Structure 1
Amino acid sequence: MKDFFNKLLTGMSIGIIVSLIPNALVGEILKLIIPHVPILQHILDISVLVMSMLPVIIGVTVGLTFKLTPIQTASVGLAAMVGSGVVQISTEGAMMLSGIGVVINTGVTAGLAVLFVKYIGARLKDYTILLLPALTIFVPGLIGFMLLPYVRTGSGYVGVVIDQITLLQPIIMGATIAVIFCILILSPLSTIGVATVIMLSGIGAGAANLGVVASGVGMCIASYKANSLGTALAHVLGSPKIQMRNFFMKPSIALPMMITAAILGALAGVVEVTGTPISAGFGLAGLVGPLNYINLAEGGWNLHNITVMLGMFFVLPIILNIMLLRLFERKFKLITAEDYKVHIE
């Protein structure tokens, strides 16, 4: 069972990074350039489309992690798409892709599909290519689709709790929300989804974003010794979810980032770092958080706001994470560089 979840989480982590990095790299930058170079809108649209293909990519990468055959892998990808909720059907019957779906339900569906295709095995013989895709869609795919409302409701409860926290004093609120989002970004739950459901804004959104920043920067620094530079940077440029498998296997690897998040979140309440429901879950990906803070701050691109932005989003996350990682590795001996090894082969 442990090996099964290990492989499932590894596949999900890889799929998330592959699907989200293109938009994370160019999204916000293109939005600034497109008014002057409209033709670049096509590139932005493609990157958004790729994000909506996340469920299929997760299904495929999960299948590859389990070393399934090409037909089995493709079938798992289709089932994951069915159970993800990324496809919205209008009252007129039109179908459209919306967002990235419910990631945790995508994972559940992919896991069920893997169990299903492994159970079927070679039983279908020459009819495998004819029947397996359909059966995988109609059995585990449909089960995932039926679970979707319940999983989505369960995810909504997380939003309700966070919504209540926003009523606290700004410093306490900022620290608490930052820690929660630092953990959420390492889980199958969507930080963007949670933030948009409750329309998290103002200091709460700024603190949430800093929690994601703390996680991404910390995981990047911590994983550098055990991974390539490109893989380490993926934690910041893409998403810290690449560490999802390692986090579930050993939650203590996130302790330095959680403390960093608490400090940054508390400071967000002091210097009034704000954000929007969209920027709350992005961290440094695409520079969404820093740019939104500058755009919302009174005075815009003045020296004070630029200094706060550089300090809160770049300087402090790096310094705090380096200090705490050394403390937890050398003094407390609770973590090692190998704990952050990402298996992407």
Structure 2
Amino acid sequence: MLKFNLIQSGSITAAAMIASGAFQVKNGQIILSGSGDVINIALTIFFAAFLVKFLTPKLGSYTVLLLPLIVAVVAGGVGQFMLPYTKMVTGAVGQTIGTLTNFQPLVMGMLMGIAFAALIVSPISSVGIAMAIGVEGIASGSANLGITACAFTLAIMSSKVNGFGTTIAHFIGTPKIQMANMLKNPRLFLPVIASAGIAGLVGAIFEISGTANSAGFGSAGLIGPMATYQEMAGGPLAIGFIMLLFAGMPILLGFAMRYIFIQKLQFVREEDLVIEDK
């Protein structure tokens, strides 16, 4: 969309890496730890892109030499300055979600499903939050079911305007591909919240469990279903039950949300969920 060349893209990438917080210096060694703070990375990229657009015509023939250095130092430095504050935001979100585990199990399951469905289509890492606050047991299972319901709901609601590959990418990969559309049109959160809340509630009713390492993935890579299977007795019945919960129920919820919010109420449009290939 912005049509950056290799030098410009590399400059922005360098700034994002510096500001991510993923690189730490310990005992004289540079250690890569995790993917960094996604919110801070996004803000840094935005600022770095603006800086690139502003500086490129002014540097002229010195662009190749000076642009990477200036963008990395200035944008990366600003990102490093903002990092503690964006981490505070992420930490506050984690603490808020952590309090949900204190509710009665059925209420907790519903709220965890909603919370993690909202996280998965936001700039915040659902996996990072789950691991940071140690989401385990029924809370983890409900979180995964909420994310799965979110993925199938968005996939089914957008299936007529997106290609087959994009549609299945919602639940095989991640529904975060809809993040831009969700933030642009917050109305889209309502069908997601409705389906995720139901899925999380069902998970709590049947005491679907998971681990802190699996919560936040949903159906992606079959991590959520496999974690649930490990917590169960196993066998063909368990596999069938898991398929029903992680595929059958989300599909039904997806079609129900499309009927209610698109066809019946016309609250949102399918076009709101178009993912353009550029």
Query: Same fold by TM-score, threshold 0.5 exceeded?
Result: yes
Greater than 4 Å deviation, 4+ residue runs: none
Distance in 1, matches of 2:196 and 2:241, equals: 16
Partner of 1:340 in structure 2?
Answer: 273
Distance in 1, matches of 2:2 and 2:103, equals: 45
Distance in 1, matches of 2:276 and 2:77, equals: 30
Partner of 1:127 in structure 2?
Answer: 62
- Answering whether residue 243 of structure 2 is matched by residue 310 of structure 1, we say yes
- Answering whether residue 240 of structure 2 is matched by residue 301 of structure 1, we say no
Say if 1:186 and 1:240, in contact at 8 Å, map to a contact too.
yes
* SS in structure 2 at match of 1:83: helix
* SS in structure 2 at match of 1:259: helix
- Partner residue of 1:84 out of 9, 14, 20: 20
Residues 136-151 of structure 1: matches in 2 within 5 Å? Answer: 136-151=71-86
- Partner residue of 1:108 out of 36, 43, 57: 43
Say if 1:294 and 1:301, in contact at 8 Å, map to a contact too.
no
AA aligned to 1:344 is D
Distance in 2, matches of 1:178 and 1:242, equals: 19
Say if 1:243 and 1:340, in contact at 8 Å, map to a contact too.
yes
Partner of 2:252 in structure 1?
Answer: 319
- Answering whether residue 155 of structure 2 is matched by residue 220 of structure 1, we say yes
* SS in structure 2 at match of 1:333: coil
- Answering whether residue 28 of structure 2 is matched by residue 93 of structure 1, we say yes
Gaps in structure 1 of 5+ consecutive residues: 1-64
Residues 244-323 of structure 1: matches in 2 within 5 Å? Answer: 244-297=179-232, 299-301=233-235, 303=237, 305-323=238-256
Say if 1:117 and 1:136, in contact at 8 Å, map to a contact too.
yes
Partner of 1:189 in structure 2?
Answer: 124
AA aligned to 1:308 is F
Bigger drift between 172-181 and 72-81 goes to: 72-81
* SS in structure 1 at match of 2:155: helix
Bigger drift between 112-121 and 168-177 goes to: 112-121
Gaps in structure 2 of 5+ consecutive residues: none
* SS in structure 1 at match of 2:31: strand
Residues 162-181 of structure 1: matches in 2 within 5 Å? Answer: 162-181=97-116
Distance in 1, matches of 2:133 and 2:203, equals: 20
Alpha-carbon offset, residue 302 of structure 1: 5.2
- Partner residue of 2:5 out of 66, 69, 73: 69
Say if 1:215 and 1:254, in contact at 8 Å, map to a contact too.
no
Deviations 1:241-275 (A, max 9, x none): 11011001111123222111111111111111111
Task: Report percent identity of matched pairs.
Answer: 38
AA aligned to 2:23 is V
AA aligned to 1:139 is V
Distance in 1, matches of 2:275 and 2:38, equals: 20
